[in-house]
Structure 1
Amino acid sequence: MKPSGVQHEVIWLQSEAPLKPKAGQCCNGCGVCCAASPCPVSRLFLWQWRGSCRALEWHAQARQYRCGMLLRPAHYLSVLPVFLEPILRYWVRRSIAADVACDSTVEVDADISA
């Protein structure tokens, strides 16, 4: 029997991505939080309210997911003046607490054999 209020949804991530840390542990670039739902930055600037964030970028060499709005905001916001990029990056880093700690309460079942 499924507990009431529990949602199950499938998110697709690279198999080389690190496993999701527990909430409160150091962020490791697993991508689960952004693949599960868009953050406030995505909602505000990309007008995305559900689904995997379209600014979620896979970086194969590092084997980590990264926020495209943090790394290259002008790619996602074509009207952003170049001189505002550093300011937006700073604001995004603070808003999503990038590389600080996992704040996602999403529970992951990595069993893909089903």
Structure 2
Amino acid sequence: MKSSGTDHQVIWLQPEAPPKPKAGQNCNGCGVCCAASPCPVSRIFLWQWRGRCRALEWHAEVRQYRCGMLLRPAHYLLLLPYRGEPLFQRWVRRSIAADVACDSSAELH
């Protein structure tokens, strides 16, 4: 079957979440990227290839989505030694370019 080039996906986000910034603008924790598809970190460590990332966490107190693999990796990776958390967190921060810029090309309608 040929793709029409207009693939659509429905993602559910908290109504209080900030609006998605344009690609290249500062990340604001909108959650669109992680709700649309898992990142390479999630693919490698959570074996998740599609759908909303299981490690996407809503933080109501700041009204933003956050990466659970970055904030509390031992919760998601039960075999990760406590001593290894800081190193793993630094690696994840670099891998996903956390809090750097929006890299999602998703268009919301």
* Counterpart Cα distance in 2 of 1:6 and 1:17: 25
- Corresponding residue SS for 2:65: strand
- Could you state the TM-score of these two structures normalised by the residue count of structure 1? 0.92
Matched residue type, 1:69? M
Deviations 1:14-72 (A, max 9, x none): 00000000000000000000000000000000000000000000000000000000000
* Counterpart Cα distance in 2 of 1:93 and 1:6: 32
- Corresponding residue SS for 1:16: coil
- Could you state the TM-score of these two structures normalised by the residue count of structure 2? 0.96
Deviations 1:88-110 (A, max 9, x none): 1000000000000000000011x
- Corresponding residue SS for 1:94: helix
Which position in structure 2 is the counterpart of 1:89? 89
Which position in structure 1 is the counterpart of 2:6? 6
Q: What are the ranges of 5 or more consecutive residues in structure 1 without an aligned counterpart?
A: 110-114
Matched residue type, 1:39? C
Q: What are the ranges of 5 or more consecutive residues in structure 2 without an aligned counterpart?
A: none
* Counterpart Cα distance in 2 of 1:27 and 1:64: 10
Displaced runs of 4 or more, over 2 A: none
* Counterpart Cα distance in 1 of 2:29 and 2:48: 21
> What is the alpha-carbon root mean square deviation over aligned residues?
0.9
- Corresponding residue SS for 2:89: helix
Aligned-pair identity in percent equals 78
* Counterpart Cα distance in 2 of 1:57 and 1:94: 19
